[in-house]
């Protein structure tokens, strides 16, 4: 819908979205269409995309013919495989190839964008001309050659996914399936989801830089349904990383299955908590969803330069206690949200959004960095070559604080502790945000008592930040497969958190009268 420009975060089990690519089978002697080795080739243009530097200089020239402050050619070739096992049989194997080039030209805060999936000169020139219509007049000297920047090292690729055959993946699915089914006699159905992708990005920029990034991604999920006395409950868990096949150790997969099963079985006993305002403890790890929704989106600089975010006039102000520091960092090696370079070709780094309780920095892309006259933060991301980039999060987390988890629990008279989440959403102008708690516990008189389930929690970003009254020293990054949606574009992200206490939030429970 034209007005449906929701901003959401989701951890939906794999198998729902289909962005998959052909799997290249080992041992079947098939030549890859565009070959990729383990190292970045000396001439990635030629080897990956069948184009040469002179051609790109021509396209860049056409793209910027009417003037430009920023421009880039974003080449991408992505191969994704999705597998699903149900009833102990793989009943879906989907592969997807997406290849194209996105051409963007920016003048001030105006953007012209066109993409081409036909990587021939005439098609690219036509797309460039279309994008260039955003600009009226202006002269800029387009680069004739492109200087390659050094490759990053944040991902592990011993063997690229394009060279891992389906025959290697199937045993892992069977292992997970068998483990889940044998965990409890009441488990009736198990669905295992697998995703891997090999993503090659090549960016040529107006200032003559050449950025190359070879990005792996993988994700494994288990969805379990159990039945007892005529009632059924379902639960799930998933893990994801920018890593290769060897990342899937038996230990890692076993932990994931244990989590899926535990989350399912506890629901037979879980109840809805009371409805209304109460203290909420967010357990470490995936509770980073609080940050993502309560402040992360609100700090994306495109919203702020337009004055639309509730944080637009809060820079430099105190927004939280001095033991609260919130960071967005793209350089956390191997994390789902990690990137060597963002999708504008800027190096990713570490952006401190809140430092010791003070609002310090927005997440900037090139357009907003220029407007605010600050350095870019490597936050310009896009879903694919089909879209223009905009400020997005990467790996968002809060740093350790001075308390312990036990202290936090002991401090709550009547409240809940939230552990497992499925999704969240935010309205950045109002600052209102929510996240859905799938599993958690009641806390009464400082003690964890009964399990709870299926409640939506709603709060207001700045108010929630102010109300973080305790922060523990147990922060870690969740390995769940989170996907963030904004203005019709989805990107993978990571979340992390220590255990924290928010003194008051609105819990969507049910009061039993």
Partner 1 sequence: MELAKAAGADDVWAVAQQSRNVQFAFRDGSLETVKDNTSRVLAIQIYAGDRYSSSQTTDLNPSRLAQFIREAVATARALEPDPFRKITPPNLFAERSKVDLDLVDPAVGELTRERRLSWCGSLDAAVRNHKQMISATSRVSDGTSWSAWASSNGFEHTRETTSIWLSASLTLRDRGDKRVSGGFGAGGQHVATLPPTDEIAQMALDFAHARLGSDKGPTTTTTMVVDARVAGQLVGRRLLAAARASQIQQGRSFWSDLLGKPAFSPVLTIVDNPLIPRGLASRHYDNEGISSKVLPIIEEGVVRNIYVDTYYGRKTKMAPTTGSSSNVTVKLWSKSLQDLVSDAGTGIYVTGWLGGNADTTTGDFSFGLQGHLIEGGKIGAPVSEMNVTGNLKDLFNKLALVGNDPYPYARTITPSLLFSDVVFSGA
Instruction: State which of positions 19-58 bind partner 1 (CB under 8 A).
Output: 20-25, 28, 30-31, 33
Distance of CA 175 to the CA centre of its chain: 27
Q: In the complex, what is the shortest distance from the CB of residue 406 to partner 1, in angstroms, rounded to a whole number? A: 28
Which of 41, 53, 92, 473 forms a contact with partner 1 (CB under 8 A)? 92
Q: Which is nearer to partner 1, 158 or 317 (CB)?
A: 317
Q: CA–CA separation, 35 vs 23, rounded Å?
A: 13
Q: Does 197 bind partner 1 (CB under 8 A)?
A: no
Q: Does 131 bind partner 1 (CB under 8 A)?
A: yes
Q: CA–CA separation, 256 vs 265, rounded Å?
A: 14
**CB burial readout 238-275, b (16+ within 10 A) else e:** bbbbbbbbebbeeeebeebbebbbbbbbbbbebeebbe
Span near partner 1 by CB under 8 A; candidates 273-281, 325-333, 338-346, 374-382: 273-281
Q: Does 209 bind partner 1 (CB under 8 A)?
A: no
Q: In the complex, what is the shortest distance from the CB of residue 280 to partner 1, in angstroms, rounded to a whole number? A: 12
∠ CA 193-152-364, nearest 5°, is 85
Q: Which is nearer to partner 1, 61 or 234 (CB)?
A: 234
Which of 37, 150, 276, 402 forms a contact with partner 1 (CB under 8 A)? 276
Which of 181, 350, 386, 466 forms a contact with partner 1 (CB under 8 A)? 386
Which of 458, 474, 485, 503 forms a contact with partner 1 (CB under 8 A)? 458
Span near partner 1 by CB under 8 A; candidates 162-170, 326-334, 339-347, 405-413: 162-170
Q: Shortest CA distance to 281 belongs to which of 414, 191, 136?
A: 414
Q: Which is nearer to partner 1, 21 or 348 (CB)?
A: 21
Q: Does 95 bind partner 1 (CB under 8 A)?
A: yes
Cβ-contact 50, 34 below 8 angstroms: yes
Q: Does 141 bind partner 1 (CB under 8 A)?
A: no
Count of other CB atoms within 10 angstroms of residue 330: 28
Q: CA–CA separation, 453 vs 508, rounded Å?
A: 10
Which of 94, 156, 175, 186 forms a contact with partner 1 (CB under 8 A)? 94
Q: Show the binding pattern over residues 169-188: x = contacts partner 1 (CB under 8 A), - = does not.
A: -x-----------------x
Q: In the complex, what is the shortest distance from the CB of residue 342 to partner 1, in angstroms, rounded to a whole number? A: 20
Q: Does 425 bind partner 1 (CB under 8 A)?
A: yes
DSSP state of 446: T
Q: Which is nearer to partner 1, 21 or 241 (CB)?
A: 21
Q: Does 314 bind partner 1 (CB under 8 A)?
A: yes
Q: In the complex, what is the shortest distance from the CB of residue 82 to partner 1, in angstroms, rounded to a whole number? A: 9
Q: Which helix (H) or strand (E) holds 473?
A: none
Cβ-contact 190, 180 below 8 angstroms: yes
Q: Does 508 bind partner 1 (CB under 8 A)?
A: yes
Which of 66, 70, 98, 346 forms a contact with partner 1 (CB under 8 A)? 98
Q: Shortest CA distance to 187 belongs to which of 263, 258, 264?
A: 264
3-class secondary structure, 493: strand
Q: In the complex, what is the shortest distance from the CB of residue 42 to partner 1, in angstroms, rounded to a whole number? A: 23
3-class secondary structure, 419: strand
Q: Shortest CA distance to 197 belongs to which of 172, 216, 173, 220?
A: 216
**CB burial readout 20-41, b (16+ within 10 A) else e:** bbbbbeeeeeeeeeeebeeebe
Beta bridge partners of residue 190, listed in sequence order: 224
Which of 209, 234, 473, 489 forms a contact with partner 1 (CB under 8 A)? 234
Q: CA–CA separation, 295 vs 433, rounded Å?
A: 9
Q: CA–CA separation, 21 vs 37, rounded Å?
A: 18
Q: Does 269 bind partner 1 (CB under 8 A)?
A: no
């Amino acid at each position: 819908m034209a007005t449906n420009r929701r901003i959401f975060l989701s951890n939906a089990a794999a198998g729902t979205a289909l962005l998959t690519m052909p799997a290249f089978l080992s041992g079947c002697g098939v030549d890859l269409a565009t070959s990729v080795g383990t190292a970045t080739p000396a001439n990635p243009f030629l080897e990956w995309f069948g184009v040469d530097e002179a051609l790109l200089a021509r396209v860049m020239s056409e793209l910027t013919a009417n003037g430009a402050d920023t421009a880039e050619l974003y080449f991408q070739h992505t191969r994704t495989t999705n597998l699903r096992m149900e009833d102990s049989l793989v009943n879906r194997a989907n592969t997807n190839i997406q290849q194209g080039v996105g051409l963007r030209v920016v003048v001030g805060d105006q953007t012209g964008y066109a993409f081409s999936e036909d990587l021939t000169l005439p098609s690219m020139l036509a797309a460039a001309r279309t994008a260039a219509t955003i600009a009226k007049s202006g002269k800029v000297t387009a680069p004739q050659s492109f200087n390659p920047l050094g490759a990053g090292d944040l991902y592990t690729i011993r063997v690229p996914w394009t060279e891992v055959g389906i025959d290697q993946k199937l045993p892992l699915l069977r292992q997970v399936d068998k483990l889940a089914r044998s965990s409890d006699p009441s488990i009736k159905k198990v669905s295992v989801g697998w995703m891997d992708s090999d993503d090659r990005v090549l960016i040529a920029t107006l200032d003559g830089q050449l950025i190359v990034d070879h990005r792996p991604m993988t994700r494994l999920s288990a969805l379990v349904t159990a039945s007892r006395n005529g009632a059924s409950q379902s639960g799930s868990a998933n893990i994801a990383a920018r890593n290769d096949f060897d990342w899937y150790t038996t230990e890692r997969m076993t932990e994931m299955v244990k989590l899926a099963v535990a989350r399912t079985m506890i629901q037979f006993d879980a109840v809805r908590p009371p409805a209304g305002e109460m203290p909420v403890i967010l357990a470490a790890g995936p509770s980073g969803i609080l940050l993502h929704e309560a402040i992360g989106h609100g700090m994306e600089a495109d919203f702020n330069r337009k004055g639309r975010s509730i944080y637009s006039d809060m820079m430099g102000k105190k927004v939280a206690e001095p033991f609260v520091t919130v960071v967005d960092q793209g350089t956390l090696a191997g994390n789902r949200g990690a990137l060597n370079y963002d999708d504008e070709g800027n190096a990713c780094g570490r952006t401190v959004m809140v430092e010791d309780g003070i609002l310090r920095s927005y997440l900037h892309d090139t357009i907003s960095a220029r407007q605010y006259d600050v350095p870019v933060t490597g936050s310009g991301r896009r879903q694919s070559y089909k879209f223009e980039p905009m400020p997005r999060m990467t790996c968002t987390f809060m740093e350790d604080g001075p308390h312990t988890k036990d202290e936090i629990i002991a401090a709550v008279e009547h409240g809940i502790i939230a552990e497992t989440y499925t999704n969240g959403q935010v309205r950045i102008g109002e600052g209102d945000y929510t996240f859905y708690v799938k599993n958690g516990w009641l806390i009464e008189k400082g003690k964890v008592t009964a399990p709870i389930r299926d409640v939506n929690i709603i709060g207001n970003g700045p108010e929630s930040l102010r109300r973080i009254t305790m922060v523990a020293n147990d922060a870690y990054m969740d390995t769940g497969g989170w996907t963030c949606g904004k203005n019709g574009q989805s990107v993978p992200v990571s979340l992390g958190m220590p255990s924290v206490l928010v003194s008051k939030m609105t819990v969507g429970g049910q009061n039993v009268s």
